[in-house]
Structure 1
Amino acid sequence: MSSPHLKAVIFDIGGVVCRSPLIAIAAYEREYGIPPNYINCSIQGRGAHGAWQKFERGEIPLFEFYAEFGRELSDTKAGNAWYAEYCRRKGIECPQLPDGLNIDGRELFGRMMREAGTLDEVVVQAIRRIKAAGKWRVIALTNNFAKTDIDVRELPRSAAQGTRFTVESELAFLGWHEGPTPSHLRALFDDFCDSSTFGMRKPEPEFYLLACKRNGIQPNEAVFLDDLGINLKAAQKLGMEVIHVPIGGSREAIKKLEEKLGIDLTSGLQPSEWTPSKM
């Protein structure tokens, strides 16, 4: 059913426009024998004050984040409690939980960012067609890291080689060859709302409302696409229409958007699931 009142389409980036970093987390858990979704439970369990959340708001520098992120995820006392509660809430049997973990925050974050460096051509084509129609504002609303600036003074020395990291080598390690938000990604949108720039993040209602205010719309005049239920619920409470984009389900999600907007967003494209092009 079409929604003729809509004035804007709001897209999440990681997991919608780009490949989900959750894929890298799942692979890391399998490699190290960590229960599925354990790491994400630990990230979410920290609430608004964890290293991940602070980094997304642009409050801590990169290498400080690495250390704090790894330290928090290695805290099995807290992590096991959060995971046991997650299993209870989901009604699933709790597996044997780790006695100890030594998670390298830099290594995990690097894997996540490299995974998220691939664009989903189904979504990119939809964005281009929406913009070409000229009827809707196209907005990015992302928990992201645009504010990240690698300070050469914080680059550590490699214990193995006795040499220092470089800004260039660290950007390459993260897959950020043009920075965390390259210009060709930003160019897809009429407005790009990045959590680290504005010091707020999803699912904080203020972040959604800021995006609406910047673009001259009311929440009930927007449809929002995201891969995380917690972010969709927050948008829905504000009056936005929402579409869930599960991993591997972008084509189905864009078909739902197609129905809401009443324009063709999917014909004429038969790509592989993800484009080989990197951000």
Structure 2
Amino acid sequence: MPHNYINCSITRRGSNGAWQKFERGEIPLFVFYEQFGRDLSDTERGNVWYRAYCERRGIECPKLPDKLDIDGRELFGRIMQRANSLDERVVEAIRRIRAAGRWRVIALTNNWARSNPASLGEGQPVPATYAHLNLRDEIAFLGWQDGAVPARVRNMFDDFCDSSELGMRKPEPEFYVLACKRSGIHPHEAVFLDDLGINLKAAQALGMETIHVPLGGSLGALKQLEQKLGIDLTSGYEPNEFTPSKL
């Protein structure tokens, strides 16, 4: 599988892909599995999108798959199992910002906080492929026993804006605007950090200052945030173990 092929296929589906609909809480888990696998197995469109991606990046396009048969459940499970770690540098920076008492720290996240059985589709029809699965066991398979977003993560922030609860997601402008309204600020007063360019561009269009956080590159992003806020976020602290993550 070419590098970034899966991510390219997910993002290029815009607002109508299975991933996007699940993040907005519009489809139940097992339906998501089926549609997610079907989306990513679509090499006809996936290859077109990936060639365009290579052209934009100015890189040579590798040999692309003629056919894919992706199991949506298996892939999503692997993604979730890798996503359970926190970047301790970011956790410490959030603690310092909140301790300063001058700013609000808001999580604006495309996520699945509505991860209880009822919200995930308990009692609803299940695609035949996944009819043998039990939803409560599936929550354990995904590592969501304490929720897709555990309370300890929510409590790190002054406000937690989750796509599955609010029915909107990044990069939809109304999601950013709602987050600002909930905290009583205007977009131009916010500094927005994210790992995806498409989300950063949407924030910039609203007047937000932005900082790109590449995977594994949180330290550089935090250094930029230090300069904007004028407080120390990184010195004197080294995590015992650094694990790149989206937080």
Q: What is the deviation of 1:157?
A: 10
Cross-structure match for 1:81: 48
Instruction: Assess, with a 3 A threshold, how the Cα gap between structure 1 residues 106 and 129 changes in structure 2: closer, same or farther.
Output: same
Greater shift, 80-89 or 102-111, is seen at 80-89
* Distance in structure 2 (CA, Å) of the matches to 1:184 and 1:155: 33
Unaligned runs of 5+ in 1: 1-33
Cross-structure match for 2:123: 153
* Distance in structure 2 (CA, Å) of the matches to 1:153 and 1:117: 27
Instruction: Assess, with a 3 A threshold, how the Cα gap between structure 1 residues 212 and 88 changes in structure 2: closer, same or farther.
Output: same
User: Which structure has more RCO (C-alpha within 8 Å, separation ≥ 6)?
Assistant: 1
* Distance in structure 2 (CA, Å) of the matches to 1:87 and 1:275: 25
CA contact (8 A) 2:215 2:244 kept: no
Instruction: Assess, with a 3 A threshold, how the Cα gap between structure 1 residues 117 and 158 changes in structure 2: closer, same or farther.
Output: farther
Stretches of 4+ aligned residues off by more than 6 angstroms:
155-159
Instruction: Compute the RMSD of aligned alpha carbons.
Output: 2.3
Q: Which amino acid aligns with 1:273?
A: F
Q: What is the deviation of 1:119?
A: 0.7
* Distance in structure 2 (CA, Å) of the matches to 1:157 and 1:219: 42
Q: What is the deviation of 1:275?
A: 8.9
**1:222-258, CA deviations, whole angstroms, 9 ceiling, x for partnerless residues?**
1011011111111111111111111111111111111
Cross-structure match for 1:13: none
Alignment match of 1:261 (pick from 224, 229, 240): 229
Provide the secondary structure at the position in 1 that maps to 2:85. coil
* Distance in structure 2 (CA, Å) of the matches to 1:169 and 1:275: 28
* Distance in structure 2 (CA, Å) of the matches to 1:95 and 1:40: 16
* Distance in structure 2 (CA, Å) of the matches to 1:90 and 1:153: 45
**1:182-218, CA deviations, whole angstroms, 9 ceiling, x for partnerless residues?**
1110001111001111111111111100001111001
Unaligned runs of 5+ in 2: none
CA contact (8 A) 1:139 1:193 kept: yes
Provide the secondary structure at the position in 2 that maps to 1:92. coil
Matches within 5 A, 1:243-258: 243-258=211-226
* Distance in structure 2 (CA, Å) of the matches to 1:130 and 1:115: 27
Q: What is the deviation of 1:267?
A: 2.0
Q: What is the deviation of 1:169?
A: 2.3
Provide the secondary structure at the position in 2 that maps to 1:140. strand
Matches within 5 A, 1:117-196: 117-148=84-115, 149-154=119-124, 164-196=132-164
**1:23-77, CA deviations, whole angstroms, 9 ceiling, x for partnerless residues?**
xxxxxxxxxxx11111111112211111111111111001100000001100111
Q: Which amino acid aligns with 1:146?
A: A
CA contact (8 A) 2:196 2:212 kept: yes
- Percent identity over the alignment is 66
* Distance in structure 1 (CA, Å) of the matches to 2:57 and 2:155: 40
Return the TM-score normalized by structure 2.
Answer: 0.91
* Distance in structure 2 (CA, Å) of the matches to 1:249 and 1:84: 27
1:203 equivalenced with 2:181 (yes/no): no
